[in-house]
Structure 1
Amino acid sequence: MRRHERKRARRAAMRRLVPKVHVGRTGKLFARRSRKQRVIIAILVLAVLVLVWTSLDSWPARIGISAILIVATPALTVLVLDRRI
């Protein structure tokens, strides 16, 4: 009985000493972003898209800049926020 208690106390002491590492899923889109960060990113992208579509007259330019923005958003997010998606 005492051996069991010592073993339980030793395990409890080790749990307090060893930091808990939560390994979550990282494969989801925007997995490590807070809700506030995701909203800000979406608002900025939509604002730039509205600006592009209202200020340019050329359809190829509109489509090209929109495609570049959509492709570059994840890379810019990583550079600005310094985290992986």
Structure 2
Amino acid sequence: MAKERALRRAAREAEAAKLRAKRARLSARRQRRRAVVARLTPQRRRTGRLLARRSRGERAGIVIVTLVLLGLVWFLVDDVALRLVLTVLLLLCLPALVIVALGRRAG
């Protein structure tokens, strides 16, 4: 009777060892997969910058339109004092114009 119990216990221990080895292989495989995915996935970067709320295209549009307007002011207006006043006025009103044109987004 003791030999039978010993044989059954040995069989159970062998099955348990196989199961532990299989779980360890699966766990290692899962960890390797997570490491690869983490390495390949771009990191989400949080910035506190105001311009980060706008897409790259919107920011490019804002810069291009501003430069075009400044160019028009400096090419079409003859008086230097008026050029400076219009430049300062444009730069001061630019944030309000951007919000009106593109809308305010909830960050």
TM-score (norm 2): 0.53
The CA deviation string for residues 31-52 of structure 1, in whole angstroms up to 9 with x for no partner, is 2000000001100000000000
1:33 aligns with 2:61: no
The one-letter amino acid paired with 2:67 is L
Residues of 2 paired with 1:31 and 1:75: CA distance? 17
Runs of 4 or more above 2 Å deviation: none
Corresponding position of 1:76: 97
Corresponding position of 1:65: 86
Please say which structure displays the higher CA radius of gyration: 2
Choose which of 55, 67, 76 in structure 2 pairs with 1:55: 76
Return the structure number with greater relative CO, CA threshold 8 A, min gap 6. Answer: 1
Structure with the bigger percentage of helix? 2
Instruction: Name the Cα RMSD after superposition.
Output: 2.0
Identity of aligned residues (%): 39
Ranges in structure 1 where 5+ consecutive residues have no aligned partner? 1-23
The CA deviation string for residues 9-48 of structure 1, in whole angstroms up to 9 with x for no partner, is xxxxxxxxxxxxxxx44x3131200000000110000000
TM-score (norm 1): 0.65
Ranges in structure 2 where 5+ consecutive residues have no aligned partner? 1-45
What is the CA distance between 1:63 and its match in structure 2?
A: 0.2
